[in-house]
Copies of this chain bind each other. A is one copy, B any other.
Amino acid sequence: MKLYDGGRAPNPRRVRIFFAEKGIDLPELVPIDITAKEHKSEAFTRLNPAQRLPVLVLDDGTALAETMAICRYLESLHPQPALFGQDAKAQALIEMWNRRVELGLFAAVAAIFRHGHPSMAELEDQVPEWAQANRDSLDDHLWLLELQLASNPFLCGETFSVADITAAIAIDFMKPARVQLPEDFVHIRRWHGEIAARPSWTA
């Protein structure tokens, strides 16, 4: 296998952290320089017509894109520790929280970064009004997380899951997006500190 990697960008990090949490060695990495628009090159577009990172190329040549598709594939090959849940109900609740965060907080922070950060003007047709709308709604997404973490050590209860990776990466992503986590989100702060202290987090 080969992993086409995008360095510090949030989705490549999610996949490398997933490998680390599984205790699997990373495959050969092929670095793709997003700031140099290498992900929009003809060669990379043939690999992933959606022009997004990361991409895992399997030994038979299949190019597997989309962070969660790659993580699910790794879970199939290496079921333990189960990061997508052990039984049908746990799996469903982890999928629910992972999607709530991806389509909520993660998408909002990404919109603020892509449509609001000066360095992204080269890569995106920026809509500053969309960045602002997401800044305005960010607290709603954070409250959803805060309430859940008030009564759960991890996002889906007693066990670390892929939903914690997604959510904690979204919090990390607030720094380049230049938005602060307000002091009063004490449960998010407690949980994020614990996640960021895991050995996987430097992957």
Contacts and interface: CB of A to CB of B under 8 A. Distances in A.
Total identical chains: 2
A100 B66 contact: yes
Contacts of A125: 133, 136-137
A69 B144 CA distance: 18
Contacts of A100: 50, 65-66
A95 interface: yes
Interface residues of A, number: 33
Contacts of A69: 92-93, 95-96, 99
A49 interface: yes
Nearest to A84: B72
Contacts of A104: 50
Nearest to A63: B96
Given A49-B144, A129-B129, A130-B129, A91 B72 contact: yes
B66 A99 contact: yes
A97 B130 CA distance: 26
A130 B61 CA distance: 37
A80 interface: no
Given A66-B95, A68-B99, A76-B92, 19 more contacts: A49-B147, A62-B93, A66-B96, A66-B99, A69-B92, A69-B95, A70-B92, A72-B91, A72-B92, A73-B88, A73-B89, A73-B92, A125-B133, A125-B136, A125-B137, A127-B130, A129-B129, A129-B130, A130-B130
Interface string A104-131: 1000000000000000000001010110
A49 B64 CA distance: 33
A77 interface: yes
Contacts of A130: 127, 129-130, 133
A9 interface: no
Given A125-B133, A133-B130, A144-B49, A91 B64 contact: no
A58 interface: yes
Contacts of A65: 96, 100
